[in-house]
Amino acid sequence: MASEGKRARKIVFSIFLLFFALLLLIAYIRYLDLKKAFIEKASDKATSVIGQRVHIENLSISLSGAINLYGITIKNPEGFAAGQLLQIRRLYLDVRPNELLKGSFSFKNIILYSPELTLMRDEKGRWNISDGLMRFLSEKSTTKYQVDEFRIDSGTFDMNKDKRCRSDSINLRLRNLSSDPNTKTEINGTFMCAGNKIQIDGWGYLNDPAKKVNFFISPTDFSLSPFRKLLEAYKIETEKTRMGIDLHIDGNAEKGFQLTTNLRVKKIGVFSLKKG
């Protein structure tokens, strides 16, 4: 009798485990369907707003409420060659749910991992930015938002595939980004431009009508190699020339901006002058 009761309990427990596993499988399949539908709806909504095709590969939501969007792509507008205006490997959003319920977008962190912005012009001189996206970027938003920290990790910027205008290894950090016009936002970071590492430090009131800013931009060891063709006429050996440049921007949109530059030539190479 005892053995038969033990066997019955095992059967019941096995059926329960099977039933529970089946429920989990159904719930997971339903979750995948809902996630796919949400991604498609979010992509379609973004496409209709900016006028360029937006694609999102995947998303995940942590128990703390943080959102990860993977493989975000904004395609070139109609009339352009195949390609994309913007591609982001991962977008991390650390949301404050309580503030979101109050109608305010509040984030602890927003991080863009490996964003690639590619600007190009066609034969008619048009940029690969749709009219809808231009309106979206130029219109003043009434949405209230607060971002404690906004970061760009390993970003890339390219314009018309011109190496002199290309920037990569972009690592920028903005602290205290807000819709409040009285907010002082600190900005610092580094990026590579034309093969030169450039440091940027400063602050600005980005939503203030006066646009008060104070920035230091300083490439410590600037090489002229990418500008070889441009400087050939001046007999300068760009590979051997090194410069130090400090650029300070201070002021506001109402009274004007003061630009101070400190230029130092560390090493210079000049071709021998030809006879005559």
Q: 258: pLDDT confidence band, cut at 50, 70 and 90?
A: confident
| Long-range Cβ contacts of 48-55 (<8 Å, 24+ apart) | 49/132, 49/136, 50/74, 50/130, 50/132, 50/133, 50/136, 51/77, 51/130, 51/131, 51/132, 51/133, 52/76, 52/77, 52/85, 52/129, 52/130, 52/132, 52/133
- Residue 55 corresponds to which amino acid? H
CB 95 within 8 A of CB 111: no
Tokens 């060891």 found at: 221
For residue 182, give the DSSP letter: T
**Torsion angle in degrees (nearest 10) through CA of 128, 129, 130, 135:** -170
Q: 267: pLDDT confidence band, cut at 50, 70 and 90?
A: low
Confidence at residue 114, expressed as pLDDT on a 0 to 100 scale: 95
3-state secondary structure of 31: helix
3-state secondary structure of 234: helix
- Residue 25 corresponds to which amino acid? L
> For the segment 109-119, what is each residue's pLDDT rounded down to a tens digit?
999 999 999 99
pLDDT surpassing 60 at residue 271:
no
CB 4 within 8 A of CB 12: no
**Torsion angle in degrees (nearest 10) through CA of 135, 140, 144, 147:** 80
Confidence at residue 269, expressed as pLDDT on a 0 to 100 scale: 54
3-state secondary structure of 9: helix
> For the segment 155-210, what is each residue's pLDDT rounded down to a tens digit?
999 988 877 778 888 999 999 998 888 899 999 999 887 777 888 999 999 888 87
Instruction: Specify the pTM.
Output: 0.76
> For the segment 14-56, what is each residue's pLDDT rounded down to a tens digit?
676 666 666 766 665 666 667 788 788 888 888 888 888 999 9
The whole-angstrom separation of Cα 209 and Cα 239 is 44
Tokens 């090489």 found at: 223
